[in-house]
Amino acid sequence: MNVPILPYNYTDSTVWSGSAVFERIQHFKDCGVPGTVDDVFNQYAIADGSCRAVGYAGCGCSFLKHPDRVRAVIEAIKGLPSSDGPSNLVLTAQNGNLLNVCNSESTESTTLEDYYDPSVVSSSIQNWWRALCSKDFTPFDPAYQPQQQAVTLGFLCNTSCNANDEMSTGDFLNQLNMDIHFTAFAVDQMCTTQNINFEPETTFTGIAAQTEKLMGHCGCAIDGDDDAILYK
């Protein structure tokens, strides 16, 4: 059975309420950015997740393959108001300036294999799977809220697609950010398909082999092709 992928309209999203935007942006600003000063791979994830929190609707290649755009977004996140004023933080993040940076031109292009450390990528995949699927870890800090699931599954899926020479399409990622029911369905499918955590890997060949089974559930398509079909 084919699962339809619907157009994305941020204002109609059942995922990104104001409180959901605050929860993610506050986490990325106060914890993520300071904690990834020397970690370019997780900086990619922070940039991607922050941009989707304010309505960015691009493909999975938009940040993972463009480090200069990631750096610009990280600087924009640093410049947001303090999370001590939640409404000010959210409204400033949503006023268009952050989204403009998310949509900025890029003059730097790379690939997963050429730019990132496979050990860091492997560890991140393990962390994302645990947050989405594990019911027993300490400290217990699961990605259980819709916005947490949407961006975390997006990171895992896009990395899986890229490891196998494809990408997560904008249509798939946008639907994760549009519809809490689709997000819950997609998480369930992933956790059923990959029902134990990934083993540590030190090569991209190994990561590709581990994640290949997820491609049918991750909206993977050839780079530049937004016509992925998901299968139930």
Contact 63, 51 (CB under 8 A): yes
Specify whether the CB–CB gap between 231 and 2 falls below 8 A: yes
pLDDT at residue 224, rounded to an integer: 54
In the prediction, which pLDDT does 8 show? 54
Give the contacts of 48 (CB within 8 A, at least 6 positions apart).
Answer: 60, 62, 63, 64, 151, 154, 155, 158
Helix (H, G, I), strand (E, B) or coil at 2: strand
pLDDT of residue 136: 84
DSSP string, 190-217: HHHHS-SPPPP-SSHHHHHHHHGGGGGG
Instruction: Give the C-alpha separation, 204 to 222, whole Å.
Output: 18
Written as one string, the DSSP assignment of 33-62 is HHHTTT-HHHHHHHHHHHHHHTT----THH
Residue-level pLDDT, tens digit, the chain, 232 residues: 333 333 456 789 999 999 999 999 999 999 999 999 999 999 999 999 999 999 988 889 999 999 999 999 999 999 999 999 999 999 999 887 898 999 999 999 999 999 999 999 999 999 999 999 998 888 888 999 999 999 999 999 999 999 999 999 999 999 999 999 999 999 999 999 999 999 999 999 999 999 999 999 999 998 654 443 333 3
CA dist 52 and 174 (Å) reads: 8
Q: Count of domains in the chain?
A: 1
pLDDT value of residue 3: 36
Report helix angle 146-163 to 118-133, nearest 10.
140
Q: Are the C-beta atoms of 73 and 47 separated by less than 8 Å? A: yes
The pLDDT score that the predictor gives to residue 138 is 80
pTM: 0.91
Q: Rounded to an integer, what is the distance from CA 75 to the centroid of its chain?
A: 18
CB atoms within 10 A of CB 127: 16
Cβ atoms of 63 and 69 closer than 8 Å: yes
Count helices and strands in the chain by DSSP H and E runs:
13, 4
Q: 186 lies in which domain range?
A: 2-231
